[in-house]
Structure 1
Amino acid sequence: MQVAVIGAGAVGCYYGGLLLRAGHDVTFIGRQPHVDAINAHGLLLDTKSFKDHLPARAATDTSVLAAPDLVLVCVKSADTETAGRSLAGHLRPDTAVLSLQNGVDNAQRLSAVIGHAVIPVVVYVGSEMAGPGHVRHHGGGDLSIGRSAASNALAEMFQAAGIGITIADDIDKTLWSKLIINCAFNALSAVANISYGPMLEVEGTRDVVTRAVQEAISVARACGVAIPDDLLAHILNIPAIMPNQMSSTAQDLARGKPSEIDFLNGHVVRKGAELGIATPTNQALQVMVKLAQRGKQGRRVD
């Protein structure tokens, strides 16, 4: 199958690399350092179970694409519309487009730009770009995909590549549950540059996490999303399961890159304001990250 990965970062390179290793023809679209390294030396796929250099093709823009069978959109949420515009003229009516992005509304935003159905996917993986063209896997890797006419065939394809995947009957619940997990830990991990394990050992942190989660659950339920009653208990157990995990927001700040905080805690704040639900903890976490970004980047953060 012809596969295009738009946004060849930690998520795109991990899943694209596994599909490449399974025999699919994968083209990675990403930033110049990764593109140069991949074209010169292949993609270094460094997982928990194997380490492999995979011959691969990469480019900095979509002009090299013909009409792929499958597109994995893995860009940051702020770049969703730009990525969508770059796909103009490269999609067939039967091309499957998947959004493997943080946040809850990227599939809708992307679909509005490209005029093409987009299947939302929730990603559960710990990975990072450890160097140009080098993706390092820390754990996890399962996907949850929205139900569509193509989902069964896509699930078989991912499973054959060693990727665990489920088809979610209620993808909004899955998307919001993942968003709420991100609201709990991403900002704190980023601002303190701390992994999940020791986070809750600091006095008061459990209370902050609990309030952020409760606010987000209230907003999600007001949006008509059926959040399970045990989500908070599950979230408070995550640091014990993933003690060494640093959030994607922490990785962004460490590299001096813009974070997705406006699409995580910030989304809860915006929807809360629309619905008349107070979200002071999520707002504080959002502002903390934006202040940290300003300090890191030495410029104004909008």
Structure 2
Amino acid sequence: MRYGVIGTGAVGGYLGIKLMHAGYDVHFLARSDFAVIKEKGLMLYSVRGDVYLPEVPVYSSSSAMPPCDVLLVCTKTTANAQLPSVLAPLLASHPLVIMIQNGIGMEEDLAGALPHAKIAGGAAYIAVTKTAPACIRHLDIGKLSLAPFSENTGHELIPVADELTKADVKTTLLPRLDEIRWRKLVWNIPFNGLSVVLNTTTEGILRNEKWRSRAWTLMQEVVEAARACGTAIEKEYAGKMMEMTQKMPSYATSMKDDYDNHRPLEIEYMYQRPASFARRAGFIMHETEVLTRELLEADRLNRKYR
């Protein structure tokens, strides 16, 4: 299959490099890093082995890309308003569009704008960061969870998961996308948000008893919100996520990286949408809403540096 990576940042760069290194046909869409990737290729420094691709098919416009079988959408959700116009030139070949983003509700919005698109979704559990243009550093973990969104797309995910796994990205298929989204939020809501408002790393949160307690309270709240919205997550899951984080190297989250580099924060889909969905189901995410207000203020103050 031919893959199109939409957004060659940390996650998109990692997935595309792994697929291409394994011998698959991969084409990259990049905006800010296009010139550097065109000239120098892509570099991955990884705990699982470094990879350098001196030449990669990279494009600054989706209209210049060839037809693809699978589009891996790895852009930040802050750019989702532009996503329909980015994807539209690539839909004539009826590719499977897989939204690998943080948050919840992205697939519904895309389906509303592109009703004939075949859409699936997924969550990346990959401790990875872009340290410089065209340069990706992978610190720990490297797996995906995928699930269908549009009807009759589940069978199309099977070969995608197989090829990703062969490319050293262990990929699990689940029947329900909402379960994938809520499970990832159990980690994303506390650690992404707190890393910004407390100006710290994952290790910093865990080492401070007060901060760790706040993270734990947020994790439990997300589990309860998911249950209210019809997604049952086992009580032990939050503890497993906390244990996983303890075993990881100290890590600056993607939201902290965005904040430090004066980029917009992914607040809408990661915080406002989950809280809105929970309210509709009769559950108030009090702690999440407090954190959301702190993030909105931090984002507002950070804008003057953009």
Per the normalisation by structure 2, the TM-score is 0.91
Give yes or no for contact 2:103–2:271 (8 Å, CA) kept in 1: no
State percent identity of aligned pairs.
27
Match of 2:178, as an amino acid? D
- C-alpha distance after superposition, 1:203-237 (max 9, x if no partner): 32233223222322222111111111212222332
Residue-pair matches, total: 299
- Partner residue of 1:271? 277
Give yes or no for contact 1:38–1:57 (8 Å, CA) kept in 2: no
Relative to 1, partners in 2 of residues 1:129 and 1:206: Cα closer, same or farther, differing over 3 Å?
A: closer
Of 182, 189, 200, 1:176 maps to 182
Shift of 1:134: 0.8
Give yes or no for contact 1:7–1:28 (8 Å, CA) kept in 2: yes
Q: How does 1:1-302 map to 2 (within 5 A)?
A: 1-32=1-32, 34-54=33-53, 55-92=55-92, 94-114=94-114, 115-146=116-147, 148-298=154-304
Which runs of 4 or more aligned residues in structure 1 lie more than 3 Å from their structure 2 counterparts after TM superposition?
none
Bigger shift: 2-11 or 266-275?
266-275
Query: Gapped runs of 5+ residues in structure 1?
Result: none
The alignment partner of 1:102 has SS state of coil
The alignment partner of 2:89 has SS state of coil
Bigger shift: 119-128 or 208-217?
208-217
Match of 2:45, as an amino acid? D
Per the normalisation by structure 1, the TM-score is 0.92
Give yes or no for contact 2:130–2:137 (8 Å, CA) kept in 1: yes
Shift of 1:25: 2.6
Shift of 1:126: 1.0
C-alpha distance in 1 between matches for 2:233 and 2:271: 17
C-alpha distance in 1 between matches for 2:40 and 2:157: 33
Shift of 1:299: 7.8
Shift of 1:10: 0.5
- C-alpha distance after superposition, 1:29-87 (max 9, x if no partner): 1223x111110011112211322321112222211123111111011123234222222
- C-alpha distance after superposition, 1:224-253 (max 9, x if no partner): 111112122223324312241221111110
Relative to 1, partners in 2 of residues 1:239 and 1:52: Cα closer, same or farther, differing over 3 Å?
A: closer
Bigger shift: 158-167 or 238-247?
238-247
Match of 1:51, as an amino acid? D
Give yes or no for contact 2:202–2:250 (8 Å, CA) kept in 1: yes
Match of 1:96, as an amino acid? L
C-alpha distance in 1 between matches for 2:192 and 2:35: 30
Shift of 1:268: 2.7
Match of 2:144, as an amino acid? L
Aligned-residue Cα RMSD (Å) equals: 2.0
Relative to 1, partners in 2 of residues 1:88 and 1:170: Cα closer, same or farther, differing over 3 Å?
A: closer
Bigger shift: 10-19 or 52-61?
52-61
Bigger shift: 179-188 or 102-111?
102-111
Bigger shift: 179-188 or 287-296?
287-296
Give yes or no for contact 1:73–1:97 (8 Å, CA) kept in 2: yes
Give yes or no for contact 1:129–1:136 (8 Å, CA) kept in 2: yes
The alignment partner of 1:124 has SS state of strand
